Amino acid sequence: MDASQVVKRVKYKSSVKAPGIDGILKMTRERFTFRPNDPSKSQSLNVDFRLIKGHKSSKEGSGKPALLNITKDQGGYFFEFENFPDRELCRDFVAKAIIANTSSGASEKATPINNEQLSSAEMQRRIKLLQEDSELQKLHQQFVMGGVLSETEFWATRKKLVDVNASRRVKQRVGLKSDMTFNVKPSSDGQSNRVTFNLTPEMIHQIFAEKPAVRQAYLNFVPNKMTERDFWTKYWRAQYLHSARNIVATAAEAAEDEELAVFLKQDPILASETRQKIRKVDPTLDMEADEGDDYTHIPGHGLAVENTKDELEAQYEPFKRSFMQDINRHAAVVLEGRTIDVETADTRTVAEALASSKRVELAKEASNGNVNQERLDRISRMSEIEDLQAPREPPVAPLCIKDPRDYFDSQQVNATNQEAGTKQMKSRLSTSEAYGSLRVFISEIRTVGLSDPIVRPEVAVMVFNGLTQNISSSKYQLGKNPHESILDTLPRVTKEELLLHWTSIQELLKHFWSSYPITTTYLYTKVISALLSYYVEFVPFVVIFSM
Amino acid sequence: MTSVTTKQYTDDVSLLMVLVDTNPLFWSSTTTSFSFSKFLSQLLSFLNSILLLNQLNQVVVIASGFNSCDYVYDSSLGPTNQRVETLLQKLEEFVSKDEELNRDDSVDGIGSSLLSGALSMALCYIQRVFRSGSLHPQPRILCLHGSQDGPGQYVAIMNSIFSAQRSMVPIDSCVIGSQHSTFLQQASYITGGVYLRPQHLDGLFQYLTTVFATDLHSRNFLQLPKASGVDFRASCFCHKKTIELGYICSVCLSIFCQHHKKCSTCGSAFGKPQTSDSTTNQKRKAPDT
Ligand SMILES: [Zn+2]
Ligand SMILES: [Zn+2]
C-alpha cells in the first residue's frame, strides 16, 4: 500500500498565468492538502476528494511546465510539478481517488496497481508513440485522461509496442530538413541597417552539402585568412546581395572583394559535378517520348516563369542564379540524405567529412572506366547514319494477333453464364429496312415533338422503388461479397467514428477480462464503475455492428 | 491531381459525353420493346435537364452506329434555342451516312455498334478540353448502349477503358438492351462509373435523372447503384474453360490452361516449363525468342 498517499514538491497557482507559491502537495485517498514553504503565506489548502469533479493536465514534452488542474464544480486548483513523472503519478492518483470517492461502495482497501517510476527515456518513447499514432492518442485521451484506466494499465498491454519501437528507432538516421535554409529571413531591429542571421550546426551542414564551393572556401580561409565569424558574415552578405536581385551591384561588390566573390559566383565545383552527371546521361534518351504522358496542358508546371533579361551583359553571367536551380540542388541534397555520420557541432569537422566523402565517391566512379567506353559505343551505335548502313534485321518481331475476339470470349464466358436464358437477338427487319425505320422514328419526333408527360407517375414510382430497394437491402447482402463492406457505404466521418468506438470497445474488453478473477476491491471498483458503465454506453454500437 | 483540379471551374460543372447506340438492327430487334422515338424523347429531356442544372455544364452527343460514329451534338456550339432541332437534324444525316457505308446486308443477329470508336472520340474530345482554355468542366462519359458486345473490338475498347482510367474520366453505363454488356461492366468497374441496366425502360428518363445526372462531386455523398458482383475470372483460350491458375503468353497476354509449344494467338514460341522449380514459377512463361 505504498500508494495510499503521495507527497510532492509543487507550485500552487490560482490560475495558469499566476506566478505560483512553492510548497508541498500531499494526497491521500480522501483528501489533498497543500502547505506553502513560507509559513507566512496563507494559501494552504485542505480539500476533500468528494468535491473534486475531474482533472486536466498540460501536454507533455512541449517545453511547457508540468501542470495538473484539479477541477471542482466551479473553478479548480493548478499545481505545477518539477517534472512530468511526478505529475503523472499524482494525476493517476487523483483519477483513482475520484473514482473511489464517487462510486458508492468506495472502500479504503482498494489496491491500485503500483505506479512504476518512469525513466525519462521511457516517457519519451510513450509520448512519441502517441504522437505517431493518432488512434492510440485518441484511446489514451479517452481512457487515461478520462480516468477510466491509469497510465500504467494503459501501457501494460502495450509493452511490446514500446520495446519494439525502441529497438527499431536506433537504426533510423534522421535526414536533412527539407526547408531551404538559404531563404532564411534575417531578423532586423528596424532601426539600424544591421540584420542578424541565426546559424545552427544543422544549417551549416546543409549549406556545406548543397554548396561545395562554400565548403571548400571554409577549408581554405578559416582560420588562416579570416575568423569563422568573418567567414559567415561574408557568406550572409553574399546571400543578402543575391536576395536583393541587383546583379550590377553584386558584380561591383564582387570585383572589390575577392573572398566575397567566391560566394557570389556560381559554384564551380557544383558546375563540374553537374557536367559529369550530364555526361553520364544516356545520350539516346528520348525526352519527348515522355512528354505527352503527362499533364502537359498545364504550362510551366504551375510556376511563374522568371523573365530573363537578354540585355544582361556577359560580364554579369557568373553572378546569375535562378531560383529553380537552387530548388533543384536543394532537392537533390535532401534526397541524397546524410552522407556523413558526424554528430558534431564543429564546423571544420563537418566540412572535412563532407569533402572526403565526395572524394571517395569520385574515386569510385573513376575506377569503372569501361562504363564510359560502353557509353561511347552506344552513342556511335545510335547515331549512325541510316543511309550508309546495310538493312538490319529488326530486333523485335511485330506483334501479330490472329484473332482479338479470343480475348473477348475468354471473359464473356463467365459473364454470360451468370444470366440464365440468354436469348439470341434477331432483327425483325433487313438492314436497309432497319435504317429506314430508324429515320422514320427520328422524323416522327421532329414532327410530333417530345412525349408529354415524359414519364408517367406510376412508372416513376416503380423506378424509385427499384433504385432505393437496392440501398435498403444492402444489409442483407452483407458478407456475400467479401470485397464490399457495409462500412464502405457509410459517409467517411461516420465510418471513422464507428471504427474509433470499435477500438475503444476492444481496449476496454481487454482490460475487463484481464481484471478477472476479481479478488480485490480495487479490481471490483474498476470493473463495475469504470469499465462497465463505459461499456454500456457503447452497447448500441455493438448492436449495430452485429446486425 | 491537384494541378488538374485547379483548372476546374467548380466541382459541380460537368462535361457530359453521351454515347448513343444507333445500331438500326438493335432498334428493330425482336426483344426491344422500346421505340427509338420514345428513347429519343426521354434522352433529349435528360440532356436539357443537364444543361439546366448548371449554366456552365456542357453536353456532347456521339452517335455510335453500325459502320461509323460521329459527333451529333455539342452544346458549346450553335444557338441555344434550337438544341433539339440541331441534334435531330445531325442524327438523321448521320444515319443516312452510316447506311451508305454499309456493305454487308446479311448480319448475324443484331450485330454490334462501334462502341470502341465512340469511346475513343469521347476521350479525344476530353483531352482537347483538358489542353485548351484556362478552365474546364469535369468530364464524364455516359454510354447508352443496347447492342451486343462486338468481340472484335475487345482490344480497342480495353485500351479506351484504360486511357479513361488514367485520365480519371468515369464511364457510366446505362444498358438499354436485354443483355448485360461485359464491356461496359468492365468499363464502369475500372473507371469508377455507374453501371445500370434499367428494368423499366419506359421510365428511362427517371433513371437518367436520378442516377446519371449526378455530378462527380455529389457522388461522394450519394449511394448510387453498384454492379452486383461481376465475374472477371478468365477462361482459357484453348477450351473456353474457366480457370484460376494458368499459363499466360508474355507477349500477347493470351491465357491457356496447359502448356503449349506455341502461342495460338500471336505465334510466339514458348520454352520448356521448368518442372523442377516451385509451382509458383509455372504461372508465367516467357517465350523463347
Ligand atoms: Zn484450355
Ligand atoms: Zn501470345
Suggest the residue from B5, B28, B218 to mutate for an interface test with chain A (most A CBs closer than 10 A).
B28
pLDDT > 90? residue A85: no
Interface of B with A in 11-70 (CB under 8 A): 22, 24-31, 35-38, 40-42, 44-45, 66
At residue A313, the pLDDT reads 58
The reply to whether B107 touches chain A by the CB within 8 Å rule is yes
Say which of A438, A448, A467 has its CB closest to residue B27. A438
Residues lying with their CB under 5 A of ligand 1, a single-atom ion: B 236, 238-239, 257
Instruction: Please tell me the predicted confidence (pLDDT) of residue A530.
Output: 67
Q: Which residue has the higher pLDDT, B240 or B199?
A: B199
Q: Is residue A193 scored above 90 in pLDDT?
A: no
Average pLDDT over residues A430-444: 88
Q: Which of B140, B217, B210, B198 is nearest to B172 (CA)?
A: B140
Question: What's the domain count of chain A?
Answer: 4
B68 pLDDT exceeds 90?
yes
Query: For residue A386, what pLDDT is reported?
Result: 64
Average pLDDT over residues A147-176: 68
**Contacts with A409 from chain B: Cβ below 8 Å:** 151, 235, 237, 240
Most confident of A71-80, A536-545, B272-281: A71-80
Asked if the ipTM is above 0.85, the reply is no
B231 at the A interface (CB within 8 A)? yes
Q: Highest-confidence range of A220-229, B135-144, B175-184, B266-275, by mean pLDDT?
A: B135-144
Residue A228 and residue A272 share a domain: yes
- A94 and A197 in a single domain? The answer is no
Q: Per-residue pLDDT for B287 more than 60?
A: no
Question: Could you report the per-residue pLDDT of A282-341, keeping only the tens digit for each?
Answer: 767 766 666 555 544 445 544 444 444 445 556 666 666 667 777 888 888 888 777 676
Whichever domain contains A25, its CATH number is 2.30.29.30
- Provide the pLDDT for residue B122: 96
Residues A191 and A149 in one domain: no
B138 exposure class (CB count in 10 Å sphere: 0-12, 13-18, 19+): buried
Q: Do A412 and B149 touch (CB under 8 A)?
A: yes
Residue-level length of chain B: 289
Mean pLDDT, residues A85-96 taken together = 83
Give residue limits of the domains in chain B.
10-221, 233-276
Which has more confidence, B6 or A93? A93
Spatial CA neighbour of A213 closest among A264, A255, A258: A264
CB distance B237 to A418 below 8 Å = no
State the sign of the Cα–Cα–Cα–Cα dihedral A79, A84, A87, A92.
positive
- If asked whether residues A30 and A154 sit together in one domain, one would say yes
Residues A361, A441, single domain; the answer is no
pLDDT recorded at residue B92: 93
Is A316 found in the same domain as A238?
yes
Nearest to B82 by CA among A440, A446, A453: A446
Q: B198 CA to chain A: closest CA distance, Å?
A: 8
Tell me if B14 sits within 8 A of B58, measured CB to CB: yes
Q: How close is the Cα of B250 to the center of ligand 2, in Å?
A: 7
**pLDDT value for A304:** 47
| Residue B131 in contact with partner chain A when CB distance is under 8 A | yes
The Cα–Cα gap between A79 and A33 comes to 12
Q: What is the pLDDT of residues A386-422, one digit of tens each?
A: 667 666 666 666 777 777 778 877 776 665 554 434 4
* DSSP letter string, B80-117: STTHHHHHHHHHHHHHHHHHHT------STT----HHH
- Are A474 and B225 within 8 A, CB to CB? no
Q: What is the pLDDT of residue A105?
A: 41
C-alpha B92/C-alpha A451 separation (Å) is 19
Contact A460 B206 (CB under 8 A): yes
Residue B57 pLDDT exceeds 50 = yes
Q: Does B264 touch chain A (CB under 8 A)?
A: yes
Query: Which of A438, A443, A471 has the highest number of chain B CBs within 10 A, making it the mutation to test binding with B?
Result: A438
A274-288, A405-419, B8-22: least confident range: A405-419
- Check whether residue A494 and residue A450 sit in a common domain: no
Q: Please give the residue that has the higher pLDDT: either A469 or A457.
A: A457
Residue-wise pLDDT tens digits, B87-96: 999 999 999 9
Three-state DSSP state, A175: coil
With contact defined as beta carbons under 8 Å apart, do A410 and B253 qualify?
no
Is position A466 within any domain?
Answer: yes
Among the partner-chain residues A418, A442, A470, the one whose CB lies closest to the CB of B231 is A418
Q: Which residue has the higher pLDDT, A97 or B48?
A: B48
Angle value at C-alpha B225, between A463 and B157, nearest 5 degrees: 115
Per-residue model confidence (pLDDT) at position B162:
93
Name the residue with higher pLDDT: A508 or B279: A508
With CA atoms as reference, the chain B residue closest to A420 would be B179
| Residues A202 and A346 reside in one and the same domain | yes
CB contact under 8 A, B37 and A401: no
| Beta-carbon separation of B178 and A419 below 8 A | no
Nearest CA in chain A to B83: A446
Cell of A50: 468528494
* Confidence check: pLDDT of B6 > 70: no
Residue B281 is predicted with a pLDDT of 42
pLDDT given for residue A24 in this prediction: 87
Q: Show residues of chain B in contact with A450, CB under 8 Å.
A: 41, 44-45, 84
Q: Mark whether A358 and A242 lie in a shared domain.
A: yes
Position A499 pLDDT exceeds 90? no
Residue to mutate among A411, A413, A472, with most B CBs inside 10 A, is A411
Residue from the list B38, B198, B232 with its beta carbon closest to the beta carbon of A451: B38
- Domain shared by A135 and A203, yes or no: no
Q: Span A441-470, mean pLDDT?
A: 86
* A205-219, A269-283, A479-493, range with the lowest pLDDT: A479-493
Question: What's the pLDDT score for residue A372?
Answer: 72
Which of A320, A352, A367 lies at the terminal end of a domain, its last residue?
A367
In a domain, A318, yes or no: yes
Residue A27 domain-assigned? yes
Interatomic CA distance for residues B199 and B236, integer angstroms: 33
Contacts of B230 in chain A (CB under 8 A): 415
B163 C-alpha to ligand 2 centroid (Å)? 23
Predicted pLDDT at A47: 83
Q: Give mean pLDDT, residues A223-240.
A: 82
- pLDDT value at residue B150: 85
Instruction: Residue A292: list chain B partners with CB under 8 A.
Output: none
Separation of alpha carbons B143 and B141, rounded Å: 7
Question: What residues contact residue B53 under an 8 Å CB cut-off, 6+ apart?
Answer: B14, B213, B215
Q: Is B174 in CB contact (< 8 Å) with chain A?
A: no
Last residue of a domain, one of A422, A454, A478: A478
Contacts of A484 in chain B (CB under 8 A): 226
CA-nearest residue of chain A to B127? A297
Give the CATH fold of the B10-221 domain: Rossmann fold (3.40.50)
pLDDT interval class at A281 (50, 70, 90) = confident
Instruction: Confirm whether A304 is domain-assigned.
Output: no
Is B154 near chain A, with CB under 8 Å?
A: yes
Q: Say what the pLDDT of residue A159 is.
A: 72
pLDDT at A106: 38
Domain membership flag for residue A89: yes
Asked if A441 lies within 8 A of B180 by C-beta distance, the reply is no
Reported as a pLDDT band with limits 50, 70 and 90, residue B153 is confident
In a shared domain, residues A186 and A72: no
Q: Are B143 and B183 in contact (CB under 8 A)?
A: no
- pLDDT at residue B3 is higher than 90: no
| Percentage of chain A modeled with pLDDT above 90 | 2
Interface with chain A: mutation pick from B206, B233, B252, highest number of A CBs within 10 Å: B206
Higher-scoring residue by pLDDT: B44, B105: B44
A415–B38 CB contact, under 8 Å: no
Residue A186: the pLDDT is 58
Query: Which ligand number lies closest to the CA of residue A409?
Result: 1
Range in A366-370, A471-475, B211-215 the model is least confident about = A471-475
Q: Looking at beta carbons, which residues of chain B come within 8 Å of A300? A: none
The pairs formed by A522-525 with CB atoms below 8 angstroms and a separation of 24 or more are A522/A109, A522/A110, A522/A111, A522/A112, A524/A105, A525/A99, A525/A100, A525/A103, A525/A105, A525/A106, A525/A107, A525/A110
Distance between CA atoms of residues A394 and B34, nearest Å = 55
A294 belongs to a structural domain: no
Mean pLDDT of chain B: 84
Q: Which of A397, A438, A477 minimises the CB distance to B36?
A: A438
Long-range contacts of B245-249 (CB under 8 A, 24+ apart): B245/B283, B246/B283, B247/B282, B247/B283, B247/B284, B247/B285, B248/B283, B248/B284, B248/B285, B249/B287
Instruction: Give the highest mean pLDDT range of A22-26, B29-33, B122-126.
Output: B122-126
Mean pLDDT of chain A: 73
The stretch A481-502 carries a mean pLDDT of 72
Q: Which domain holds residue A269?
A: 181-287+312-367
C-alpha torsion B132→B136→B138→B140, nearest 10: -40
**What pLDDT does residue A461 have?**
92
pLDDT of residue A185: 58
* C-alpha distances in Å from residue A463, one per residue of A457, B20, B125, B163, B213: 10, 22, 33, 33, 15
Has residue A307 been placed in a domain?
A: no
Do both A355 and A263 map to the same domain? yes
d(C-alpha B134, C-alpha B263), whole Å: 49
Q: Report DSSP state, residue B65.
A: -
Answer whether B28 sits within 8 Å of A470, measured CB to CB. no
Last residue of a domain, one of A137, A167, A197: A167
Instruction: Please indicate whether, in this complex, the C-beta atoms of A298 and B237 are within 8 angstroms of each other.
Output: no
Contacts of A434 in chain B (CB under 8 A): 24-25, 27-28
Tell me if A394 is assigned to some domain: no
Contact A205, A351 (CB under 8 A): no
Q: Which span out of A173-182, A519-528, B115-124, B244-253 was modeled with the highest average pLDDT?
A: B115-124
Q: Which residues of A413-443 are buried (b: 16+ CB within 10 A; e: fewer)?
A: bbbbeeeeeeeebebebebeebbbbbbebbe
pLDDT of residue A122: 77
